[in-house]
Amino acid sequence: MRPIAMLLQALCLCALLPTVEFANAADWDDALRQEIERIDRESPGSLGVYVKRLADGASFNYNADRLWYLSSTVKVPVAITVLKQVDAGKLKLGDKLVLQEGDKVDGSGALAWQQTGTSYPIDSLLKRMLRESDNTATNLLIRTVGLDNLNRTASDIMGSDVRKLTDMAEVRYDVYEQMHPDARKLSHLQLVQIAAAPLGPQRVENVRRTLNLQKDQLQAKTIDEAYDRYYRTEVNSATLEAYGKMLEQLVRGKLLSPQSTRVLFTDMSFDSLGDYRLQGGLPRNVKFIHKTGTQYKRACHMGVINPQDDGRHAVVVTTCAADLDENREAGGIFQRVGRAVSKAALPGS
C-alpha cells in the first residue's frame, strides 16, 4: 500500500501545481499593482508601466496598452534597423558615413557642432546615439537606412501599436509648426540656434524672431500649447506593451545575429549599472540593458534586467510618464518603479 499511497500523493501535488503557480503569479501582479498605483497617486502627471518575467511568461500591465510618447527611446529601433542591415550584408560597422548639414539638430551629443563633411564609422555613431543620445548621430543613421525602412522594421516588430517614427529634426519642425507653418522653412542651423534659448517664453520668442513674425501671428503662443498640439498627433509613440515585445524578441535572439546582439547590448550599457532612473532602484548585482528618453513634460525608461543567456531569466521593464517636470521629477519616480519591480519580480530582492 505504501508505494500506491506515495504515487497518489505525488499525483495530487502535480494536480495542485498549476493552481500554486497561478496564485503566485496573481500575488506578484497584485503586490506590484498596489505599489505602482501608490507611486502614481503620489506623483504628478500620469504613469505607465509594463513588466514581463520571461522565465514564466507572467506579465504586468499598468496603463501599458495606451500610447506613450517615446522620446529618445526611439533610438533602439533605429539601432535594430541599422544592425539588421549589417546582418544582411548591406552595411558594415566600419563603414564611414559623412556628416551633412541636414543631419544637424539640437539636443544631446556634440556631433551637431562638428564640421560638415567629417566621416564617422557606423559603430561609433551607434555608441553616440545610444550612450550619449546624440540626436545628430541618430539623424545620420536614419538617413542611411531610410525612414521608410525604419518604420517598416518598427511595425514588423511592434505591430500596429507603434505610430510613425520620424528623425530628430522632424520633431523640432513638427513642434515649431504648431506656432506657425513657416517653421518648415527653418534651416537646420536655425533649429540649433533657436534651441539656445531655454524651453518656455524665450524659446517661443526665438522662433518668432527667426521667422520675422508679429506676436499676433503665432498660432500657438506658448511652448506648452505647441507641445500639447504636437503630442496629439501621436507620432513617435507606441504602447509600452509593444515596446516590451520588441525588447523580449531582442534578448531571445529573434531580431539580430549573436554578434549584432552583443554590439547592441554593449551600447545599451550591459557592462555598467548606474543610479539614474530605473537603475537606481535595481540590485547592484544585476545586468541591465536600457535606453532613456526625455522631452518636454515627457520621460521614459525602457530596459531588460539580466538579458544574458537568451533572456532565460530576464525581466522586461518599460515605463513612461507624462505631464511632469521631465528633469526634476521623472528620475525619482522611475527609481521608485525600479525598486517596486525588483521587489516583486526578482528573487531575493
pLDDT digits (tens, 9 = 90+) for 300-328: 999 999 999 999 999 999 999 999 999 99
For residues 70 and 172, state if they share a domain. Answer: no
CA-nearest of 164, 169, 170 to 152 is 164
Q: Find all residues with CB under 8 Å of 243, minimum gap 6, and list them.
A: 50, 70, 73, 158, 162, 302, 318
Give the pLDDT of residue 8: 41
Residue 26, in any domain of the structure:
no
The residue among 232, 260, 278 that closes a domain is: 232
**Cα–Cα dist 289/274, whole Å:** 11
- pLDDT (tens digit, 9 = 90+) per residue, 63-91? 999 999 999 999 999 999 999 999 999 99
Q: How many CB atoms lie within 10 A of CB 323?
A: 12
Residues 107 and 246 in one domain: yes
Domain closes at, from 232, 248, 264: 232
pLDDT at 12: 43
Q: 23 in a domain, yes or no?
A: no
**Does one domain contain both 66 and 201?**
no
Judge whether 29 lies within some domain: no
- How far apart, in whole angstroms, are the C-alpha atoms of residue 111 and residue 107? 10
Q: What does the chain come to in residues?
A: 349
In a domain, 8, yes or no: no
pTM: 0.91
- Same domain for 161 and 174, yes or no, is no
Q: Does residue 271 surpass a pLDDT of 90?
A: no
pLDDT tier at 109, thresholds 50, 70, 90: confident
What is residue 3's predicted lDDT score, i.e. its pLDDT? 47
- Residue 348 pLDDT class (50, 70, 90 cuts): low
The answer to whether the beta carbons of residues 278 and 334 sit under 8 Å apart is yes
Indicate if 217 and 327 belong to the same structural domain: no
Angstrom distance (rounded) from CA 51 to CA 240: 9
Q: Are 28 and 52 in contact (CB under 8 A)?
A: no
Question: Do residues 256 and 187 both lie within one domain?
Answer: no
pLDDT in tens, 208-254: 999 999 999 999 999 999 999 999 999 999 999 999 999 999 999 99
- As a whole number, the mean pLDDT across the chain is 92
Considering the domain architecture, whether residues 268 and 215 belong to the same structural domain is answered as no
Burial code (b: 16+ CB inside 10 Å, e: under 16) for 173-207 equals bbbbbbbbeebeebebebbbebbeeebeeebbebb
108 and 69 housed in the same domain? yes
Torsion of CA 331, 336, 339, 343, to 10 degrees: -160
* Structural domain harbouring 218: 168-232
CB–CB of 311/252 below 8 Å?
Answer: yes
Residues 161 and 188 in one domain: no
Residue 30 domain-assigned? no
Last residue of a domain, one of 204, 232, 260: 232
Band (25; pLDDT cuts 50, 70, 90)? low
User: Does residue 254 belong to any structural domain of this protein?
Assistant: yes
pLDDT-derived band at 97, boundaries 50, 70, 90: very high
Looking at the fold, whether 110 and 220 belong to one and the same domain comes out as no
pLDDT for 17 beyond 60: no
Q: What percent of the chain has pLDDT over 70?
A: 92
Q: 87 is written with which cell numbers? A: 546582418
Kindly report the CATH number assigned to the domain that includes residue 154: 3.40.710.10
One domain for residues 317 and 278: yes
Q: How confident is the model at residue 26 (pLDDT cuts 50, 70, 90)?
A: low
In this structure, the answer to whether residues 66 and 139 fall within a common structural domain is yes
Domain count, the chain: 2
The answer on pLDDT for 293 being more than 80 is: yes
pLDDT at 272: 82
Residue 11 located in a structural domain: no
User: Model confidence at 200, in pLDDT bands (50, 70, 90)?
Assistant: very high
